[in-house]
Structure 1
Amino acid sequence: MTEQVMAAIDGSSVSESVCDYATWASRALAAPLTFLHVVDNHPQTAEADLSGNIGLGAREHLLEELSHLDEERAKLAQEQGRVMLKAAVERAGQHADGEPATRQRNGTLVETLEELEEEIRLLVIGKRGQTAQQASEHLGSNLERVVRGVHRPILMVPEGFKTPERVLIAFDGSKTTRKGVEMLASSPLFQGIACHVVIVGAETGDNRSQLDWALKTLRDAGHEAEGAIRAGEVEETLRTYTQEQDIDMLVMGAYGHSRIRHLLVGSTTTAMLRKACVPVLLLR
């Protein structure tokens, strides 16, 4: 089974950015690209059940009408999805291995991605889904559930594509982030991209040793690399560094040090996702 870059698209405004970043990643990794659209046929919670508000004689007829309406809505959603998938393929253009593939599934996004997990090399998903509020810091509940449920690298993207030139990894010396540095060093996804490493904490011998290891690992692999140890609150410190250095992508471990409540997203990661203005690559 060939692992692929999988891009989850819907009707939201961020879907074009999802297409563009997935196309970039697919070409950089020389991996097949698949666009995925999931039709969730669950009834909208905002719709009231009016079947009990009329006389008994008409109730059965109304239920039939409502059932027919649900079927028509599902057909329309599927057709809209097919149009979006076709548009995504056209936007991506031709790849070395041919035209991107498309998939349309019925169900929930999280369950679908869990079923397809073995085929995913990198999942690209938008910061806000079609049903999410449009507040800039809103993190769609789908995304949060995906991060908990899918054990593959996830690239969360905001609106607007920019080819990454400078990437920052939030480093704390943990096993997850050491793997992250090694992945950055070896992955064709980051070939030719300058790498920054930041440790948020005190200037200690251990932190300095950890930073030196990370920078050496990246430089030995041919990367331009620089780093810093900065005291302060994690989220604010990383955001400030990102702005100062004009960082194009942030790389983080999806979970903190604690293994307790391992299904919960690390609080620092969640906060960064909510406020991120650049793509965030979550490592597992």
Structure 2
Amino acid sequence: MTQQIMACIDGSNFSRAVCDAAAWASLRLSAPLTFVHVIDKEANPVVHDSSGQIGLGSREHLLEELAALDEQRGKIAQQQGRLMLEAACQRATEDGVSEPSTRQRNGEVVEALYELESEIRLLVLGKRGESAASASAHLGSNLERVVRALHCPILITVAEFTAPQRVLIAFDGSETAHKAVEKVASSPLLAGLECHVVLVGVDTEAHRTQLTWVEQQLEGRGGKVITSIQSGEIELALRHYKQLHGIDMLVMGAYGHSRIRHLLVGSTTTDMIRHASVPILIIR
């Protein structure tokens, strides 16, 4: 089974960025691209059966009308989804992707993606979906659940996507961070890009030794490698470094060594996603 880039689109303002990010990843990885749209029945308005308040004689007729309305809403949702998938394919084709494909599913987004995970090389999602609040501090519940449930790499886009030139790997010495570095080193996705590896903590010999290991892992992938030890609160230090060096993309593990495993992700990862102004690549 050929693993592919899968991009989940909906009616949100993030869908165009998802298309662009997915097309970029597909071309970088020379991997097929599939757009997925999930029709969530829970998102449809619920019409309550109030026939009991009107009279028993009206009950059968009202239930028939409710069923007809439900069917009509389902057909409209399917058609809207097909139109979005067609538009996504057209946009990806214009970006240079050859023959992108589509899938449409009914049910919950998390369950649908979980069933497809064995086929996913990289999953691309928008930071928020169409049902999420637009407040910048909001982190959509579907996104949280997807990151928790799936173990494939996930690229989370912001409202606009531009092909990155400088990436930042947030490194904390954990097992997950080591795996993230190894995956970046072995994948063509970020090959040739300027790579900044930042460890937030005390400047010690042990930390310098860890960063030397990182440099050795990344030296064969092309592109400049810059390592740095920063002090202070983790999220603020990473955000300041990102702004100072014009970082286009963040790479983070879903867990750090000091995080509680039953939580969604490490609190630093969650905070960075919540306040992100550039795409974030999450590696489990």
Please give the range of the TM-score, normalised by the shorter of the 2 chains. over 0.9
Q: How does 1:18-37 map to 2 (within 5 A)?
A: 18-37=18-37
Q: Match of 1:87, as an amino acid?
A: A
Q: How does 1:66-145 map to 2 (within 5 A)?
A: 66-93=66-93, 98-145=98-145
Specify the alignment match of 1:215 in structure 2.
215
Q: Is the 8 A contact 2:47 2:66 kept in 1?
A: no
Specify the alignment match of 1:58 in structure 2.
58
Q: Match of 2:241, as an amino acid?
A: Y
Distance of 2:268 and 2:259 partners within structure 1: 15
- Normalised by the length of structure 2, the TM-score is 0.94
Distance 1:26 1:275, change over 3 A: same
Q: Deviations over 1:61-111 (max 9, x none)?
A: 222211211111111000000000000010001688831010011111100
Q: Is the 8 A contact 1:94 1:100 kept in 2?
A: no
Shift of 1:37: 0.5
Distance of 2:157 and 2:199 partners within structure 1: 23
Shift of 1:54: 2.2
Distance of 1:96 and 1:163 partners within structure 2: 14
The alignment partner of 2:71 has SS state of helix
| Structure 1 runs not aligned, ≥5 long | none
Distance of 2:237 and 2:49 partners within structure 1: 49
Aligned residues: 284
Q: Is the 8 A contact 1:199 1:229 kept in 2?
A: yes
Distance of 1:54 and 1:270 partners within structure 2: 50
Q: Is the 8 A contact 2:170 2:250 kept in 1?
A: yes
Q: Deviations over 1:236-273 (max 9, x none)?
A: 11111111111010000112225754352211111111
Pairwise CA RMSD: 1.8
The alignment partner of 1:42 has SS state of helix
Q: Deviations over 1:32-57 (max 9, x none)?
A: 00000011123647755544432222
- Normalised by the length of structure 1, the TM-score is 0.94
Shift of 1:140: 0.8
Q: Match of 1:6, as an amino acid?
A: M
Q: Deviations over 1:202-245 (max 9, x none)?
A: 11111111112112322243330112111111111111111111
Specify the alignment match of 1:192 in structure 2.
192
Q: Is 1:262 matched with 2:262?
A: yes
The alignment partner of 1:53 has SS state of helix
Shift of 1:157: 0.4
| Structure 2 runs not aligned, ≥5 long | none
Specify the alignment match of 2:231 in structure 1.
231
